Structure 1
């Protein structure tokens, strides 16, 4: 049992009973319990199998490679169609909806799938890096900023660039630029806080 997961459950009073019930199943299995991305995660032989989380209107679990589960009970949903490839969720709005024996079957199948090597590998982005003119302008004015920006990996540079270019309004681009300049100077990637959990 991971005390950080205890803390997570205790902070989510609305779903505390449901989270404890789900966790009881996971703790019976050969899973390592950790906190990743700020939420409980369950790992088998260094592979992410699933996670558990509480939201405003529901609590749930998700399987990192849930697309490979048979889902005969039709419990799994794809929360972001056309975006999410392998991730599948189960959502619960009350303790009565949680069938622990059935959930255990799903988790055991997910472990078997992991053992069999069933997983979706992330596709590498091979597109050339396009630096928005807002960033380009700042880099040309500030030698130190330019140096630190170029020290980042391609994927981290791409995150900064997409963050700016995805904004529609000039004012939003400017406020985002003001946010990332100190991050670059501090050598902090845009999404580093999620990676280090």
Structure 2
């Protein structure tokens, strides 16, 4: 494929791909056919319209996927969009196990991409849940109640950082695992850092 719209970082990503290479190339062609700009973000091929993220190509052990950044706003007339986890608010995936599935769905995929472009053109935004709507595990609530300084430090974090901590603390089923995660994160919170900040 000789095309001045191709991003060399995506070429490098595809050349290194051991799994899903053929599928990635088919999805790339479809995205470019929709006049999207090829970029490389979050270590994956990403396709944009006027610098707004539309779709991302990524792979997992059992499937590869086309991730629509604002998939929650699409009509999903074919019922093929998948919410990865209950905590994912905006993104939706269409999953594939082989290149034949992608080829068979090409016109549908293009329809979905064009709809996603229209969502961006219209300036539509996903209404995210407020941090206060997320569950605060009792173990963390106890820590907040015990320490005014911790409570202030947590309140000073950005809403996204607060949500990341609340989701991370809530995931384990066992109280001792939740408590362990909380204990390991207290210093970061006090220092105004997010879960993944160095």
Would you say same fold, with TM above 0.5? Answer: yes
Number of residues of Structure 1 aligned to a counterpart in Structure 2: 188
Q: What residue is the counterpart of 2:165 in the other structure?
A: 160
Question: Out of 176, 184, 190, which is 2:189 matched to?
Answer: 184
Which deviates more, 42-51 or 154-163?
154-163
CA gap of 1:164–1:25, structure 2 versus 1, over 3 A, is: closer
Q: CA deviation at 1:113?
A: 3.0
Q: What residue is the counterpart of 1:105 in the other structure?
A: 111
Please show how residues 56-95 of structure 1 align to structure 2 within 5 Å: 56-69=61-74, 71=76, 74=78, 76-80=80-84, 87-95=91-99
Q: CA deviation at 1:76?
A: 1.8
Q: What residue is the counterpart of 2:128 in the other structure?
A: 122
Q: CA deviation at 1:19?
A: 0.3
Matched, 1:169 2:169: no
Q: CA deviation at 1:112?
A: 2.3
Q: CA deviation at 1:46?
A: 3.3
Which residues of structure 2 form unaligned runs of 5+?
1-5
Secondary structure (helix, strand or coil) at the match of 1:89 reads strand
CA gap of 1:136–1:162, structure 2 versus 1, over 3 A, is: farther
Matched, 1:32 2:37: yes
Contact 2:89 / 2:128 at 8 angstroms: preserved in 1? no
Q: Would you identify which runs of 4 or more consecutive aligned residues in structure 1 move more than 6 Å?
A: none
Secondary structure (helix, strand or coil) at the match of 1:13 reads coil
What's the C-alpha RMSD, in Å, of the aligned pairs?
3.6
TM-score by length of 2: 0.70
Matched, 1:96 2:100: yes
Q: What residue is the counterpart of 1:41 in the other structure?
A: 46
Matched, 1:9 2:14: yes
CA gap of 1:186–1:123, structure 2 versus 1, over 3 A, is: closer
Which deviates more, 121-130 or 49-58?
121-130
Q: Deviations over 1:44-63 (max 9, x none)?
A: 12322111111111111022
Counterparts of 1:108 and 1:25, CA distance in 2: 11
Which residues of structure 1 form unaligned runs of 5+?
none
